[in-house]
Amino acid sequence: MQIEKLTDVVGARITGLDLSQELDSETHAKLHQAWLDHQVLVIPEQDFTQEEQIRFARSWGEFPKRERYEKRAEKDTADKSIMLVSNIRENGKLIGSLPDGEMMFHTDGAYDEHPYNYTMLFALELPSTGGNTLFANMYAAYEALPDELKSKLANCTAHHGYYSGTVQRDQPVGHFNGEFSHPVFIEHNETGRTALFISRLLTLRINELSQEESDEILAFLFDHTEKREFIYEHEWSLGDLVMWDNRCLNHARTDFPREERRLLRRNVIQGVRPERGRVDVAA
């Protein structure tokens, strides 16, 4: 197993692994540490079945209950633990979710009381161009905030909500998944580090501020977290498995040709309700 940094701020490429085979405990522990160190891991040239992907994903924790599985497009084509991220239509019906277009920055499951720890996405079919995934390091975004703003938001909570197929803010698509409020600054429950926990797609308001001030500060935070200095942009290749930590990353998708097929297979791992993060400011 070899680890190669992708940028100075986030991301690593992992080679020398065949994830269709069960990992021994030592390799699994090394991969886990690399994940905590680099937040997003790219593992290229994989070839595994749905069942092998599920086995690998399950080694990182429990799957969400997915109560709405009977209403999902994947019901007849994939396991309950799988989301197919795809624009493919069969007999006029989508086989998956989030089919088309650019998708704003977000973190998976932020609208739930217990957001997801991890997301794993495996590339099965890709368009000729576009559909890249961008990852923003929310540790770094927090650390780069002005001390005055850190102090102002230290005890604030942000309210998040999401409709199931939405890719652009204020353009809801699908059924309402849920809503919940979490601290603006959360503590990563494994590393103990503080991360900024807001996103352009999902965060609706800062509860303790007036609507006007909330809108103003959120607009600043959205722009701040999406600075290129915090971002790794992944250009997909067939057989890539990309796995990321939702507790300290936001991610987004670039547009791609709608007439070209795109199919990726996703698993998520359930997390716990995040605690408020420690805010450090200069004396």
Q: Amino acid letter at 204?
A: L
CATH of the domain at 79: 3.60.130.10
Burial of residue 139 (number of CB atoms within 10 Å: 0-12, 13-18, 19+):
buried
282 belongs to a structural domain: no
281 belongs to a structural domain: no
Does the pLDDT value for residue 36 go beyond 80?
Answer: yes
Distance between CA atoms of 162 and 217, rounded to whole angstroms?
Answer: 20
CA distances from 276 to 10, 155, 180 (A): 23, 8, 15
**Which single residue is written with the structure tokens 């942009």?**
233
Beta bridge partners of 147: none
3-state secondary structure of 267: strand
| Strand arrangement, sheet containing 194-196 | 194-196, 185-187, 275-276
pLDDT of residue 112: 96
Q: Which tokens hold the place of 206?
A: 């800062």
182 belongs to a structural domain: yes
Across the chain, mean pLDDT equals: 95
Range of the domain at 127: 2-276
Residue 12 C-alpha from the chain's centroid = 16
Distance between CA atoms of 200 and 208, rounded to whole angstroms?
Answer: 18
- Alpha helices (runs of H) in the chain, residue ranges in sequence order: 25-38, 50-58, 138-143, 147-153, 211-225
pLDDT of residue 68: 62
Distance between CA atoms of 183 and 250, rounded to whole angstroms?
Answer: 16
> 93-124 pLDDT, tens per residue?
899 999 999 999 999 999 999 999 999 999 99
DSSP of 171-212, one letter per residue? Answer: ---SSEEEEEEEESEEE-TTT--EEE---TTTEEEETTS-HH
The closest of 67, 5, 90 to 42, measured between CA atoms, is 5
> 202-258 pLDDT, tens per residue?
999 999 999 999 999 999 999 999 999 999 999 999 999 999 999 999 999 999 999
283 belongs to a structural domain: no
- pTM for this structure? 0.95
- Structural domain tally of the chain? 1
The 3-state DSSP composition of the chain as helix, strand, coil percent (nearest 5) reads: 20, 30, 45
